[in-house]
Structure 1
């Protein structure tokens, strides 16, 4: 295992909480109806295309054409996005800031719609602390596609073999490893500290 020189953080569910159920438990109170809506209307596959760069206007129009009876809640997905990200994970943010203060090279690589990332950056000022970020919606590629890892490494001058990626999704971790990076699956801050310590990285 090569010595780590670069540390790359995912954002959603690693640094910032994300849960679409938060507003929709109010908008669609019945749990069965809400599950149907997420399984059949505003699905994860639909949402990830906004992370790839599709505009919300186009995304909403496509779904409203298919599900006109759900027009209001289709639009509510974007309208209520701010409720889906209510807080940061202070313990993980503390680790990231500690790494930066200790002199480690820290960047971020995230699947995020371009416009909602602008909102997130205004709300969470720690997102400006790392050296930089690659946002999928801006570069029109998403994890776990190999190209986005290669673009991030090239953009920030990272040596892939000496780069450690931290993500809550196993498929994104696997994508980083396939691109020649080292990577760990994020579950909680305590486990992340142990993973860093195993690589002789102190935060």
Structure 2
């Protein structure tokens, strides 16, 4: 990237939109299921073929936890107690905050950058984060948070990004897609944002994320 390109980008107003899980918050079903399925091979099979990501993300899109549990238990009755535990003990999958991501968040906030959140998260489980440490103190500092389960849309659906932009415009009426910088640990979500004209970072390495933000003239 040339110096001229960096200067041009840095002059563009910046509004940063964070994903939460995998960027600021640590969430991993393995934290719970290590307690429930001692054998690693069996545990990996269960999380890949029964309570897997494709099933879980439907709750992020608005399906109720009760319906999700009942329908999956009907398909796998032999695993019904483990399936029930997924949401009954969901908070045991949370591992606190991710220090490198929070350091980026803190630096941006200290530099006066407007901060928003766009997360794939169930509407039924997100209230726990809203009201419990260590998540609540961070969530309270965002100007707005769009939760997929509340909108019944999930990333990478383009409509959820458009809805985020509309929400941002409630605070910044002149905001345009090129003003938005999106940070997400899932590459397909990043690619969807870029397709809509957002600047976006695949958060695979916090140091690389911070470096990219600096290249765009932001404090990290």
Band the TM-score falls in, shorter-chain normalisation = over 0.9
- TM-score, normalised to structure 2, is 0.88
Q: Verify: 1:49 aligned to 2:58, yes or no.
A: yes
CA contact (8 A) 1:110 1:135 kept: yes
Counterparts of 1:164-183 in structure 2, within 5 Å, are: 164-183=181-200
Structure 1 position 177, deviation (Å): 0.6
Structure 1 stretch displaced more, 113-122 or 70-79: 113-122
Within 5 Å, which residues of 2 pair with 1:127-146?
127-146=139-158
SS of equivalent residue, structure 1 residue 54? coil
Shift of 1:83: 1.4
1:37 equivalent in alignment to 2:54: no
Deviation at 1:149, TM superposition (A): 0.3
Q: Which protein is bigger by CA-based radius of gyration?
A: 2
Of 113, 119, 123 in structure 2, the residue corresponding to residue 114 of structure 1 is 123
Q: Which runs of 5+ in 2 are unaligned?
A: 1-7, 170-174
Contact 1:18 1:84 in 2 (8 A): yes
The answer on 1:161 being equivalent to 2:178 is yes
Aligned pairs for 1:68-147 (under 5 A) are 68-123=77-132, 124=135, 125-147=137-159
Question: Is 137-146 or 31-40 further displaced after alignment?
Answer: 31-40
Q: Is the 8 A contact 2:184 2:203 kept in 1?
A: yes
Q: What CA RMSD, in Å, does the superposition of the two structures yield over aligned residues? A: 1.3
- Between the two proteins, the alignment pairs up a number of residues equal to 203
Specify the SS of the correspondent of 1:50.
helix
1:126 positional shift? 0.8
* Unpaired stretches in structure 1, ≥5 consecutive residues: none
Q: Which runs of 4+ in 1 moved over 6 A?
A: none
TM-score (norm 1): 0.95
